[in-house]
Structure 1
Amino acid sequence: MWYIIHGNHFEYYRMKGLFIHSMMSSSKKAGTYFYCALTAFIVMLICTRSSPLYAFNNWDDSNSYFTVGKSIFNGLVPYRDLFDQKGMMLYAMYGIASLLSYKTFAGVFVIETIAAAAVGLAIYRIYSLYVRPEISIVLMPITCACIYSTRSFWWGGSAEEMMMPLFMWGLYLSMRYFKEEYPREISYKTLLIGGILAGCVLNIKFNSLGFFFAWMVMILIADLTAKNLLISQRLKMCVIHGCIFLLGMLIATAPWIIYFALNGALYDWFHVYIYLNVFVYSEKLPMLQRIYNMCKIIYNHMLSNPYCGFMALIGGISFIVMKSRCIEKLNMIMLAGFTALIIFIGGVELQYYSLPLWTFAVLGGVAIGRIVEYLIDNSIYKKRACKESTDDENTTPVSIRWHVIRITAGICAVVIAGIISYTTSMNSFFMKYQRDDIWVYHFTDIIENSGIENPTLINMGCFDAGLYTTCGIVPTCRFFQTQTIKISDVGEVQDDFIVNGKTDFVLARDYTPDYIDVHYELIAHESWEQSGYDCDFYLYQLAR
């Protein structure tokens, strides 16, 4: 066709070559996406209790998010009608998961797998900045397994886990700019994407925004150090870039502003999500004590997660000492430092808080990849292969041989990732439990066989223990679970529900609620070991 139009063979073969190259490039991209998705599926299948290999994800935090998420699609408004302290985007993801499976975590598993695939692709892109693709494709699954099998991952479904794609892609964009584009001006597209990523973090768990604060500070430093520009031009560029970044954050936040405005709940959103988290939830300590506690917490988390801790620390040191631009090194110090600072300055030591720090485990992978690349480039086999490849007769066999080696290495890497996940994940032991072994399903059978249509429930003395999920119950009390945050409203509202018999069932953990005997009778009691603690769960039913 091109030959007929242009009347020459050269144009025909040129376009044919471009078409073939485009097809090969698309096929390679599709293969990479599939490889990342396969890695994510295998790692998540083992590491998260939301997986089909587990009877139930009995983490109270994940169940709480699931309850609030599904309630959105039942007409309730978070913060106003249901009290919880995470961001609206997290609840929306869990709400979508509930549409896929209303009484199980199958939908959550799908979302976790998609998020992990996005993380894997970003890790591959980061490695490809420093080492050849065939090494990147081997390192990526192993890095994913190391990150998701840490104690920081906990039981699966945390806010930190859902933010990992945002951190990893933010890290990729920042490293790519300072390695390949600086001192040229950063593109508006990259800035806008960075702002959108930051906006998503803002609306999932805002105390993790330290990463993107440093991300944008480094862009402003790059603008201020731009060559051949007047100071006024540099300042103007800073303002423009800052506005584009904020526009991205606004794009990610606008849907929630509209949602709460339409539901008359803007004040509830700000009061619960921002004010209470900042001024009530964190510890009140002198700054020096906060810094000391923060360093101690980070040290303890590194000991609890030795693989990622080692990769992040040693990788960070090697990144700083290796041959690279000073601004690249400063960029990494700023990103890691502010990520840790904002997360832990409040003094909270929960294990899953440190998961964002293991984003920087890729630095260890970069160091390993560069060593492997050096060994390959200087190996006798490589030199022999290069020599053989110059011979026309041997070009095809060598090419095929290397292609087979790459595929084999990739498959082996996924297998190794699965082995790492199974042997190091804190969750793999829980596979032995069946549905009939878990107390929550015993209580579920009791509630479902009670004959009460559309039963109501309240949790006392604990977070959402899972009955809202397994029974498909939507809460009728704003404080549907006992909170760790110290506000008097929780006890007062819950006591009112008990005193006046406003709920069909009461689930209590480790204590007997006041006035429970007035309207309720104990119908079930079971003991359960959870997170190293022995718990007693009591189920009460409203006396008819």
Structure 2
Amino acid sequence: MFANIPWLKKVIIIASFFCMVLLLLPSLSEGLLLSLIGGLLLFIKPDCAFTKISLKRIVSSSVIAVLLLVVYLYYLSQYNDISSISFIMSSLLYGIISVVFIYAFISLCSKADFTGVRSGGSTKVSYKYLIYALIFSVLAMLFVSQSSPLYEINYWDDSNIYHTVAKAVWNGKLLYRDIHDQKGPLMFFIQIPGVIISDDSFTGMYVIEAIAFFAWTVIVLKTVFLFVKPGIATYILIPPISLFALITNSFRYGGSAEEFMLPFLGAALYIGLRCIREERSFTLKEAFVVGIISSMVFWTKFNLCGLLLGFVIYVLIVAIREKKHKELPKLIGMFIAGFFCICIPILLYFAFKGSIKTLFDGYFLSNVSVYVDPRKGSTSDAPFIITFAKKQLEIFMENYKYEHIFFMSVFFSLIVFSARKEKKTFLFFILTLGCAYFGIFGMGFQISYYLMGLKSFMVFAMIPLFLLTEKVSDKLTVRALRPGLAVLGMLLITATVIVCSPSLFMFGREREEYPQYQIAEVIKADGIADPKIINFGFLDSGFYLATDTLPFNNHYCTACDYEYYTYEHKALIQQKAADYIITKDKTYDWEGYELIFVSSSNEMYWNGSFIEEDTFYLYRRVS
């Protein structure tokens, strides 16, 4: 069995298994030893009699064993991760268990038949599932997202920015010219229906989030359909399992661009996998749809387009390999046609307003000038490739430490699809994941929520998971147990996900406890009609929402100290144009303004490691 797996895939399996182990075990040395023993299994060819093992295989396995052992011993010598014989014995025990696990797991993955849709099949979703998934989405997002009515405010600054800017656009301001943020125009157009529903709360955003998650659960089911013949357990468990994409640190408190693009990116993966499973070429209609998806992602947040780039590269490789050159021009033409279906209305809107240049400067130039700098923060004179590699390793490790569920699913998927003889599926997975990763992190910039842009790839891990689920379900001789156990599993998983949600930290907090509403009451008591407020030196934290006002200047909130962004605020303060100034964690001595109120609040640090205190200062213009 393992002898038929190419050596490169064997390396991928070993590396993936090693990374999975590190997420499960507390010690790196145990992980190294696990990989040493379990990984060798792939090269020794254990499904054959040991007497038939060739000298070449023994030598190659021994070399690998020595290399892994050297790494293992080096780690022990550097970090002294060994104190007693009990440690060695426990590590050896883990190693023995890993041999059994990796053999049984890969054997199952390589031999199990995917029983889903083939050529001519249907992935149509029943209306019963749609109703169930919609109800589940509405209820689950009540707890998982701070945009829901169960929370007084979404404490995440990015969500407040989207709401404030969308509200300003809905009230007649022109994006980028009159009010600025670096996200694409489609991000704010998506938010406008939410503003229409409620312009003084996040209820509208909650509705949009619930719809987006509902769409994600439908995409997951249709994708699983391609590989697994679903039973009642799959239908019941897909929504709660899909919810795992939303509970990690990258989800934050809900409302990111990555979250809203999740179903669209998932739909692109579904289209690609369906063509592969049905063993056919991409149709012109599918090329058109992928073009539309690409354009929507591009005009929302262009660094998320890496997945679509990987998709296009895959199509080109397959077309060239299978000598289908004549189909390429038509596919490319339909892709471009779909892409411009979204581009043209957006460009016409800004052209009609005479603001094409502000669109270019506000969306493209501002992002490039702030974020695109792979050497940022580095004082090293090392070659670019070394600097780039070090930065990517830092970013990977930073995400790896706090996003266990996501990385477990990725490594799980790598092992499964490396062990199977499905070259196209494996190639599609590697290309789309690789391009998506470097599209997001390739420029050397990392923020915690960026990883949310890769969560659509968790669907690959759900395929073998639900294959195993159906096999277990089929073993139950009492048919009534199948839905009963599935419902129990759904309840347990949902409860676990909700408890682990970063949002839950603020569940039950009263409105009067938030600095946003405390400061709003102080401003309201002064009786100034339509007060002019400056949000100085930090991102929008909900003060415009709480005071029911709109910013009166363009670059109304800043996250960095670049003169380009702070000049406007400093000039307005010098002119005493603002009635109030709000600062965060810093005090200032401004001529003509006095400090009148201070308020503090606690929130969970982005990686969940500790609770941090935010202190806000309110300054009022002296009459």
TM-score tier by shorter-chain length is: 0.7 to 0.9
CA 1:100–1:166: 2 relative to 1, 3 Å = same
2:145 matched to which residue of 1?
48
Contact 1:128 1:136 in 2 (8 A): no
Of 521, 540, 543, which residue of structure 1 is paired with 2:619? 540
Contact 1:141 1:413 in 2 (8 A): no
Letter of the 1:542 counterpart: R
Q: Which moved more, 1:163-172 or 1:247-256?
A: 247-256
CA 1:28–1:492: 2 relative to 1, 3 Å = closer
Answering whether residue 238 of structure 2 is matched by residue 140 of structure 1, we say yes
Write out per-residue CA displacement over residues 94-133 of structure 1, whole angstroms, 9 at most, x where no aligned residue: 2221111111100000000000000010011111111122
Q: Aligned runs of 1:210-221 on 2, under 5 Å? A: 210-221=306-317
2:388 matched to which residue of 1?
290
> What TM-score results when the alignment is normalised by the length of structure 2?
0.74
Give the SS at the match of 1:449. Answer: helix
2:183 matched to which residue of 1?
86
Of 255, 268, 287, which residue of structure 1 is paired with 2:345? 255
2:582 matched to which residue of 1?
507
- Structure 1 residue 178: Cα displacement: 1.0
Distance in 1, matches of 2:463 and 2:143, equals 26
Distance in 1, matches of 2:389 and 2:358, equals 32
2:428 matched to which residue of 1?
331
- Structure 1 residue 236: Cα displacement: 3.5
Of 560, 576, 591, which residue of structure 2 is paired with 1:517? 591
Contact 1:137 1:410 in 2 (8 A): no
Of 587, 593, 599, which residue of structure 2 is paired with 1:526? 599
Contact 1:195 1:244 in 2 (8 A): yes
Unaligned runs of 5+ in 1: 1-24, 228-233, 386-401
Give the SS at the match of 2:146. Answer: coil
1:68 matched to which residue of 2?
165
1:399 matched to which residue of 2?
none
Give the SS at the match of 2:507. Answer: helix
- Structure 1 residue 91: Cα displacement: 0.9
1:466 matched to which residue of 2?
542
- Structure 1 residue 452: Cα displacement: 1.2
CA 1:280–1:287: 2 relative to 1, 3 Å = farther
Of 305, 310, 321, which residue of structure 2 is paired with 1:225? 321
Letter of the 1:267 counterpart: K
- Structure 1 residue 410: Cα displacement: 5.4
Write out per-residue CA displacement over residues 435-454 of structure 1, whole angstroms, 9 at most, x where no aligned residue: 11111110111222221111
Answering whether residue 566 of structure 2 is matched by residue 491 of structure 1, we say yes
Write out per-residue CA displacement over residues 142-196 of structure 1, whole angstroms, 9 at most, x where no aligned residue: 322211111111111011111111111111111111111x3x3311111111111
Of 230, 238, 244, which residue of structure 1 is paired with 2:328? 238
1:309 matched to which residue of 2?
407
- Structure 1 residue 199: Cα displacement: 0.8
Contact 2:123 2:225 in 1 (8 A): no
- Structure 1 residue 358: Cα displacement: 2.2
Give the SS at the match of 1:290. Answer: helix
CA 1:205–1:347: 2 relative to 1, 3 Å = same
CA 1:406–1:357: 2 relative to 1, 3 Å = same
Distance in 1, matches of 2:347 and 2:385, equals 34
Letter of the 1:526 counterpart: S
Contact 2:166 2:188 in 1 (8 A): yes
Distance in 2, matches of 1:169 and 1:405, equals 33
Give the SS at the match of 2:129. Answer: helix
2:289 matched to which residue of 1?
193
Distance in 2, matches of 1:409 and 1:243, equals 50
Q: Aligned runs of 1:349-368 on 2, under 5 Å? A: 349-368=446-465
Answering whether residue 349 of structure 2 is matched by residue 276 of structure 1, we say no
CA 1:423–1:329: 2 relative to 1, 3 Å = same
Between the aligned residues of both structures, percent identity stands at 27
Give the SS at the match of 1:112. Answer: helix
Write out per-residue CA displacement over residues 54-88 of structure 1, whole angstroms, 9 at most, x where no aligned residue: 12111111111111111111111111111210011
Contact 1:303 1:309 in 2 (8 A): no
> What TM-score results when the alignment is normalised by the length of structure 1?
0.85
Of 370, 377, 382, which residue of structure 1 is paired with 2:467? 370
Contact 1:455 1:473 in 2 (8 A): yes
Contact 1:90 1:203 in 2 (8 A): yes
1:123 matched to which residue of 2?
220
CA 1:406–1:52: 2 relative to 1, 3 Å = farther
Give the SS at the match of 2:153. Answer: coil
- Structure 1 residue 354: Cα displacement: 0.4
Letter of the 1:120 counterpart: T
CA 1:376–1:64: 2 relative to 1, 3 Å = closer
Write out per-residue CA displacement over residues 202-254 of structure 1, whole angstroms, 9 at most, x where no aligned residue: 01110111000011111222222335xxxxxx334212211211221111222
Contact 2:518 2:599 in 1 (8 A): no
Distance in 1, matches of 2:266 and 2:363, equals 25
Letter of the 1:256 counterpart: I
Distance in 2, matches of 1:30 and 1:193, equals 23
1:156 matched to which residue of 2?
254
Letter of the 1:270 counterpart: F
Q: Aligned runs of 1:340-351 on 2, under 5 Å? A: 340-351=437-448
- Structure 1 residue 426: Cα displacement: 1.5
Letter of the 2:367 counterpart: N
Letter of the 2:416 counterpart: S
Contact 2:262 2:455 in 1 (8 A): no
Contact 2:395 2:441 in 1 (8 A): yes
The RMSD of aligned alpha carbons is 2.2
- Structure 1 residue 408: Cα displacement: 4.1
Contact 2:230 2:470 in 1 (8 A): no
Answering whether residue 197 of structure 2 is matched by residue 100 of structure 1, we say yes
CA 1:376–1:63: 2 relative to 1, 3 Å = closer
2:420 matched to which residue of 1?
322
Distance in 1, matches of 2:189 and 2:482, equals 40
CA 1:214–1:255: 2 relative to 1, 3 Å = same
Give the SS at the match of 2:174. Answer: coil
Give the SS at the match of 1:441. Answer: helix
Give the SS at the match of 1:161. Answer: helix
Q: Which moved more, 1:303-312 or 1:292-301?
A: 292-301
Write out per-residue CA displacement over residues 288-312 of structure 1, whole angstroms, 9 at most, x where no aligned residue: 3223322332333233121222122
Distance in 1, matches of 2:192 and 2:588, equals 31
Distance in 2, matches of 1:146 and 1:275, equals 35
Distance in 1, matches of 2:162 and 2:576, equals 26
CA 1:239–1:278: 2 relative to 1, 3 Å = farther
- Structure 1 residue 276: Cα displacement: 2.3
Distance in 2, matches of 1:263 and 1:483, equals 28
Give the SS at the match of 1:527. Answer: strand
Distance in 1, matches of 2:578 and 2:483, equals 59
CA 1:29–1:405: 2 relative to 1, 3 Å = farther
Contact 1:462 1:508 in 2 (8 A): yes
Letter of the 1:46 counterpart: F
Contact 1:69 1:96 in 2 (8 A): no
Contact 1:43 1:148 in 2 (8 A): no
Of 531, 539, 553, which residue of structure 2 is paired with 1:455? 531
Distance in 2, matches of 1:490 and 1:68, equals 17
Distance in 2, matches of 1:85 and 1:252, equals 19
Distance in 2, matches of 1:529 and 1:288, equals 40
